[in-house]
Structure 1
Amino acid sequence: MDNSIIVTTPAQLRELVAEQIGTILPKLADFRRKSEPVESDGMTAEAAARFLTEMGIPTTRASIYNLVYKETIPYRKFGRRTIFSKKELLAWIDARTTRPADARAEAASRIARSAANRQ
């Protein structure tokens, strides 16, 4: 290592420091990305039961496994593990949600068909 003294102006010093920082920051950002935990969408049956309960559908772990047995809830199997996706569960809830306007329209349609059959 050279122990000589270098004399610079403040502008030159800022330029040198900025240049060195510019080369180090991308490496540091890449290192952070690799060391950050990966957010997983997968949940266990117990976490899925808690999630559904939080969404207003009181559910137990046993009822989750019952729905898995009946194949009425979206799930994945990895060996012996059963994994649930939060996104798929939200879609599953939405697909089974009855909206009042839909029920009224369906009832009106049934009444109209019934009246048409009587004529």
Structure 2
Amino acid sequence: MTPDQLRGTLEGAVLGALEKFQASQKEAARPENQPEAMNLPAAIRFLAENGYPTSRSKFYQLTSTGKIPHRKYGSRLVFNRTELLRWAESQAKECNTGQREAVALIARSARNHQNR
């Protein structure tokens, strides 16, 4: 075997092993492979990873007022992944609501002006 053939064989083997490793890492990171129940630090990380950053103090405030879905296990707070994401999505406000309100106001004004 020539040095070039050996190099090609090794490159193929290394690339194949790397692809398998990356596929296994992606599989392990998929949400269905993660537990449904989370503690407070995991819940904070989970929301931040999904675009809803929330501070620890805000979490405590929301749990004490019952505004965020949670359970207690002994003295620990436990959060359900699905419920938490659904709650966060329901709390998100649309960014263009002010724009829609302005368009509606202009349209009303135009209709009123035409009726004069």
User: What is the TM-score when the length of structure 2 is the normalising length?
Assistant: 0.51
Instruction: Return the match for 2:94 from 88, 96, 99.
Output: 99
Unmatched segments (≥5 aa) in structure 1:
1-37
Partner amino acid for 2:48?
Answer: T
Q: Which residue of 2 aligns with 1:81?
A: 76
**Aligned partners of 2:92 and 2:71: how far apart in 1?**
23
Q: Which has the larger radius of gyration?
A: 1
Partner amino acid for 2:44?
Answer: A
Change in Cα spacing, 1:100 to 1:77, as seen in structure 2 (3 Å) is same
Contact 1:45-1:65 within 8 A present in 2 as well:
no
**1:58 and 2:79 are equivalent in the alignment:** no
Q: How many residues align?
A: 80
Greater relative CO, 1 or 2 (CA 8 Å, sep 6+): 2
Deviations 1:16-43 (A, max 9, x none): xxxxxxxxxxxxxxxxxxxxxx952010
User: What is the TM-score when the length of structure 1 is the normalising length?
Assistant: 0.50
Deviations 1:44-90 (A, max 9, x none): 01111111222223323232112111221111122322100111111
**Aligned partners of 1:66 and 1:100: how far apart in 2?**
25
**Aligned partners of 1:55 and 1:93: how far apart in 2?**
9
